[in-house]
């Protein structure tokens, strides 16, 4: 996890959060306002904020706001323009998303590889990530206004992602590339020592013998099995105590009832 | 991607496409049929096919089919059941998705790391990836029916992903992980199923109560501790049998001596 206060992205020289804010998501001629709202939500989920709409069919619309959920701010600050080139004006790079990389044309990057490149470019200025219509994608003219083509890996038998889902994949990859992913470590409790474990194994052995579960004449590999199982479990000290506590309680009850 | 022809045993390795088909997406109590349809589309986009619905609020519904778009087959073959444990029955592992990893709980994996683990588990049998409701996520009981917790990295200021978007992130990561090559089983022996584990937990509970180790008036978090420990251990079926065999022997000796 990267701290966000003054940690600088080594490649970009700017803070990762700042790099994400320099990425603009550009939707060309979206048909459904719901997709605009869902795309805004996906962006905000991943820390992006700047949404541009090129000739949206219906916008603003209440449906866009409903689906934006907690990302109303992204929808309401979206900029609307008439042509893709208006949205790309001051951008230092533009990446076109396509489900169907054409044979001719630009260099094609996977979404994952593109994310690192986008952030690198963002060190120099705003960067556009450009999506086409729900049905037909980008026109050739729009593709040619971009410098690189990005492909989202998908099932060849059904590769057509919903527009907002495609926005999410790119936004998610950008967030991970910015190293902002936060995964909480498992609870840090004291780990059992080798001595703790030996105590447990001895206790298990004793209980196995006393209960008749283990025949001392034919021990098989029980001993090894216990070790293998609990080695994999990477026990905490308290867990050793719990296991031994149960074995002890079972033995004591036996003693009481004898 | 690895060629998919072949008669390899599931234990020694399976083709990636087959591993993806063994992953079941389980949606617990989804409220909106549209989300079911969108989730199905996301699944099919990434090559997943098996959808389970636990107590869906409204299903089947036309809205689910509209949003499924080209993934009608996934929606129509979805299985509906009454409880999460019904959906997990023969699964060799269950991964719970949570936007809010609890402080105290199971091991937490990122979506990316989890994807590789899910595919490895899939070499041994069906694997469940479990999602909670749109508003409240999974209940504690549902979380405890799973062995591992998965976190989708997101903007801490707005981490609530739409349900279908969360399904897409996991499905996408699974597809990319599958594209890395053949999937191999980590263990040499059959993995315990969710039903095996539930049997073990019930047995531990019974032994804890009967021996007086667990005071039913003050159960503390013993129940959760067992689950956490053995979730980490990723038990083989034979290990479950050994543990239960010991518990049974201890109880029988007690009975004999009474």
Domains of chain B in sequence order: 16-178 (3.40.1280.10), 194-256 (1.10.8.590)
- Name the minimum distance, in Å, from the CA of B212 to any CA of chain A: 7
Q: Between A70, A183, A213, which is nearest B110 by CB? A: A183
Q: What mean pLDDT value characterizes chain A?
A: 86
Tens-digit pLDDT profile for residues A40-81:
999 999 999 999 999 999 999 999 999 999 999 999 999 999
Assess whether pLDDT exceeds 90 at residue B7: no
Best to test chain B binding among A197, A204, A211 (most B CBs inside 10 Å): A211
Residue among B55, B61, B94, B90 nearest B75 (CA): B61
Please, what sign has the CA dihedral across residues B190, B191, B197, B200? Answer: positive
Model pTM above 0.80: yes
Task: Verify whether the Cβ–Cβ distance A158 to B213 is below 8 Å.
Answer: no
Q: Between B42, B153, B233, which is nearest A182 by CB? A: B153
How many Å from the N-terminal Cα to the C-terminal Cα in chain B? 63
Residue A160 CA to residue A154 CA, distance in Å, equals 8
Decide if A4 contacts A108 (C-beta within 8 A). no
Residue A181 CA, chain-centre distance (Å), reads: 7
ipTM of the complex: 0.80
Which has more pLDDT, A194 or B92?
B92
Assess whether pLDDT exceeds 80 at residue B204: yes
Residue A118 CA to residue A242 CA, distance in Å, equals 51
> In which band, very low, low, confident or very high, does the pLDDT at A10 lie, cut at 50, 70 and 90?
very low
Q: What mean pLDDT value characterizes chain B?
A: 88
Residue among A62, A12, A13, A63 nearest A34 (CA): A63
Decide if A98 contacts A138 (C-beta within 8 A). yes
> In which band, very low, low, confident or very high, does the pLDDT at B4 lie, cut at 50, 70 and 90?
very low
Q: Is B120 on the interface with A (CB under 8 A)?
A: no
Which has more pLDDT, B61 or A93?
B61
How many Å from the N-terminal Cα to the C-terminal Cα in chain A? 57
Decide if B171 contacts B115 (C-beta within 8 A). no
Q: Is A39 on the interface with B (CB under 8 A)?
A: no
Give the number of other Cβ atoms within 10 Å of residue B168's Cβ: 28
Mean pLDDT value of segment A80-97: 90
DSSP, collapsed to helix, strand or coil, labels residue B12 as coil
Mean pLDDT value of segment B117-144: 93
Give the model's pLDDT for residue A258.
60
Query: How many residues does the structure list for chain B?
Result: 258
Which residues, 6 or more positions from B143, have their beta carbon under 8 angstroms from its beta carbon?
B96, B98, B102, B105, B106, B149
H or E element in which residue B96 lies: strand B93-97
Q: Is B10 on the interface with A (CB under 8 A)?
A: no
Paired strand residues for B23 = B127
Give the model's pLDDT for residue A9.
40
Give the model's pLDDT for residue A87.
93
> In which band, very low, low, confident or very high, does the pLDDT at A153 lie, cut at 50, 70 and 90?
very high
Mean pLDDT value of segment B189-201: 89
Phi/psi region, residue B212 (left: phi>0; alpha: psi -120 to 50; beta: rest), is left
Assess whether pLDDT exceeds 70 at residue B72: yes
Which residues, 6 or more positions from A229, have their beta carbon under 8 angstroms from its beta carbon?
B233, B235, B239, B242
**CA-CA distances (angstroms) from residue B255 to A15, A248, B204?**
67, 17, 17
Decide if B248 contacts B256 (C-beta within 8 A). no
Tens-digit pLDDT profile for residues A14-38:
788 889 999 999 999 999 999 999 9
Paired strand residues for B148 = B95
Assess whether pLDDT exceeds 80 at residue B113: yes
Tens-digit pLDDT profile for residues B95-107:
999 876 665 556 6
Residue B239 CA to residue A226 CA, distance in Å, equals 8
């Amino acid at each position: 996890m990267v701290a966000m206060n003054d940690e600088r992205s080594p490649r970009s020289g700017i803070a990762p959060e700042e790099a994400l804010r320099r990425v603009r998501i550009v939707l060309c001629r979206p048909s459904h306002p719901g997709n605009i709202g869902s795309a805004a939500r996906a962006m905000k989920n991943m820390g992006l904020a700047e949404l541009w709409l090129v000739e949206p069919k219906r916008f603003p619309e209440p449906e866009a706001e409903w689906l934006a959920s907690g990302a109303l701010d992204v929808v309401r600050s979206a900029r609307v323009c008439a042509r893709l080139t208006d949205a790309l004006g001051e951008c230092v790079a533009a990446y076109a998303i396509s489900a169907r990389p054409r044979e001719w044309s630009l260099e094609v990057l996977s979404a994952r590889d593109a994310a690192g490149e986008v952030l690198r470019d963002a060190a120099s200025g705003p960067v556009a990530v450009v999506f086409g219509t729900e049905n037909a994608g980008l026109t050739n003219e729009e593709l040619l206004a971009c410098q690189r083509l990005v492909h989202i890996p998908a099932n060849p038998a059904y590769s057509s992602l919903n527009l907002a889902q495609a926005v999410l994949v790119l936004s998610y990859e950008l967030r991970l590339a910015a190293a902002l992913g936060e995964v909480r470590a498992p609870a840090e409790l004291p780990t059992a020592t080798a001595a703790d474990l030996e105590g447990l194994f001895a206790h298990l052995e004793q209980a196995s013998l006393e209960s008749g579960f283990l025949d001392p004449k034919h021990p098989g590999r029980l001993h090894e099995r216990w070790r293998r199982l609990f080695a994999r479990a990477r026990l905490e000290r308290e867990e050793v105590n719990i296991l031994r506590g149960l074995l002890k309680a079972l033995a004591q009850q036996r003693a009481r009832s004898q």
